[in-house]
Amino acid sequence: MTSTLFITGATSGFGEACARRFARAGWSLVLTGRRAARLQALSDELSALTDVHTLELDVRDRHGMEQAIATLPTKFDKLRGLINNAGLALGTDPAPKCNLDDWDTMVDTNIKGLLYSTRLLLPRLIAHGRGAGIVNLGSIAGTWPYPGSHVYGATKAFVRQFSLNLRNDLVGTGVRVTNIEPGLCESEFSLVRFGGDQAKYDATYAGAEAIQPEDIAETIHWVLEQPPHININSLELMPVSQTWAGFSIDRS
């Protein structure tokens, strides 16, 4: 039987790379995101390899998510995998200078959007049972504090704890849950974070040999193809060039 995978945020970065990786492995795909043209282009590309269904969806739109998931075509409604990938960071200013709208957007996308897709798709994953899996995109920012991470890092700490807690409630169902916690990766993530500032983006990655979306896709494929009795709880990845800075001390 073909395995079906639901990916939130498949129009760029990790989600797009996962779509390609799992298509090559023969999984059917439900690809979601807000940018319809990109979904169409990816669907055109991957339909030669596998069955693809696209949903132009904002994960913050609970009603839209409910409707789209309730009306998935029969061919795609028996899910084996969910990659909760849609997410973003906005800005790196210190908290007192931040815009509350940006904080709302991060909370609504990274936390509430992930909760909607998880809760709405759980019955289908449980129906699949043994061998099914949810992969959440956490971050090193969910564990390690750094200046300007405030709300973004806090949303990823939520994702980490929610992933661990979910495992308890799924015991006996066979459904696995994994939190992937990447460090510096090269995608549109930093363009979004810096409001499209290409110079800041280039400076972020210069000389860093950052992790690539294809590396993350390979890792997620490995996680979801583990034997069904194995759950990878969490997995933290950094480029070799990235390590922890020391504590800072204010001597003013």
Site for ligand NDP, rule CB under 6 A: 8-15, 33-35, 58-60, 85-88, 109, 113, 137, 139, 182, 184-185, 187-189, 192, 213
Return the one option of ligand NDP, ligand 8X3, none that residue 112 interacts with (CB less than 5 to 8 A, by type).
Answer: none
Position 84 contacts ligand 8X3 (CB under 6 A): no
- Taking the least distance from each CB to ligand NDP, the nearer of 188 and 225 is 188
Are 187 and 216 contacting, i.e. CB atoms less than 8 angstroms apart?
A: no
Are 13 and 187 contacting, i.e. CB atoms less than 8 angstroms apart?
A: yes
Position 140 contacts ligand 8X3 (CB under 6 A): yes
What is the C-alpha separation between 80 and 134, in angstroms, rounded?
9
Helices (H), 5-113: 13-24, 36-46, 62-70, 100-106
What is the C-alpha separation between 2 and 64, in angstroms, rounded?
27
State the nearest-atom distance from the C-beta of 153 to ligand NDP, in Å. 10
State the nearest-atom distance from the C-beta of 252 to ligand NDP, in Å. 32
**CA angle, 158 as apex, 154 and 161 as ends, to 5°?**
135
Choose which of 15, 33, 91, 183 interacts with ligand 8X3 (CB under 6 A): 183
Structure tokens at 244: 């922890």
Position 111 contacts ligand 8X3 (CB under 6 A): no
Position 141 contacts ligand 8X3 (CB under 6 A): yes
